[in-house]
Structure 1
């Protein structure tokens, strides 16, 4: 059986964003973990407009090429890590929009959440994300990584340099994702 594909999805699309550094760090952690083939998916590069399909995504009757491409990307994955900032006590619209574009492609896959922000460490974004994932039949791992005052972990080159606690949290989340992914892969095959 081939190695499961873990997509690390960088949610922020705004100019000057720093979340891509966090996404690269967690992707590196996942590569070192060794349980997954890792892909970084940058929603800024995906470039989805506000949802513009005439049919409900459950039907998979896509008319737009960007939706067909997004469907192919998400279909490739066995699990996800959503790297999200907190915007106004919730998840960014770019992530909600990307999730809403598809339906079946998300189902019965595991997800980890890496949230970042100021004092709240992005926890309100993570909390808002979970019911959306549940509606899409995505299984969130209990273990997560929450990064408070994340700018303190950026070096002069804007590379993310975590502390020991964040690395331990990342390893625990990846272990749980690997466990869930194996179980859910069986379910998807049924």
Structure 2
């Protein structure tokens, strides 16, 4: 068993979504790695209503059972791979909502980004980088951006170009290095 736990968070719940194929590909590419265990977290399985907590997440005073369940899930991970579509030049509302529910559970952890869309989802990643910085999530440089035109058949079946394989290895290497370093930071703070 690896010393790091990484969540691959699928940031789309839309019927007919393309993200499931992308997230499954990420998990399959990470499966042979010895430095971390990668687990798919599908937001379909965490039906969070539009943010309904009275207190700001930074206070850590979660009232709803759905929030407490989400917090327990996220707290157990050392890092994250956010898989996001690009909707209207940004990330999905459901992913932003899931992120906004928590604060301390994200702090001093590492993240990497995987996106897909007409232009590869790069603008969604830029928004997630800003959000992550506010939550004290250290995000790595390497990202994966998949085009609906060149990495999907008929805009729906995920068929990534081989050029993404090496980039994925770099992404995992960077993410695991940062997650391991930040695990030490969290240990010192405790």
TM-score by length of 2: 0.93
Shift of 1:61: 1.2
In structure 1, what is the equivalent of residue 170 of structure 2? 172
Q: Point out the structure with the larger strand share.
A: 2
| Partner Cα distance (2:69, 2:164) in 1 | 33
In structure 2, what is the equivalent of residue 14 of structure 1? 14
Structure 2 alignment gaps of length 5 or more: none
| Partner Cα distance (1:150, 1:35) in 2 | 33
Name whichever of 26-35 and 134-143 sits farther off.
26-35
Name whichever of 146-155 and 35-44 sits farther off.
146-155
Q: How many residues align?
A: 187
For the structure 1 residues 150 and 82, does the alpha-carbon distance in structure 2 shift closer, same or farther, using more than 3 Å as the test? farther
In structure 2, what is the equivalent of residue 129 of structure 1? 128
For the structure 1 residues 32 and 2, does the alpha-carbon distance in structure 2 shift closer, same or farther, using more than 3 Å as the test? closer
RMSD over equivalenced CA pairs, Å: 1.7
In structure 2, what is the equivalent of residue 182 of structure 1? 180
Name whichever of 146-155 and 180-189 sits farther off.
146-155
Aligned pairs for 1:13-92 within 5 A: 13-92=13-92
Query: Which portions of structure 1, spanning 4 or more consecutive aligned residues, are displaced by more than 4 angstroms?
Result: none
Structure 1 alignment gaps of length 5 or more: none
For the structure 1 residues 12 and 151, does the alpha-carbon distance in structure 2 shift closer, same or farther, using more than 3 Å as the test? farther
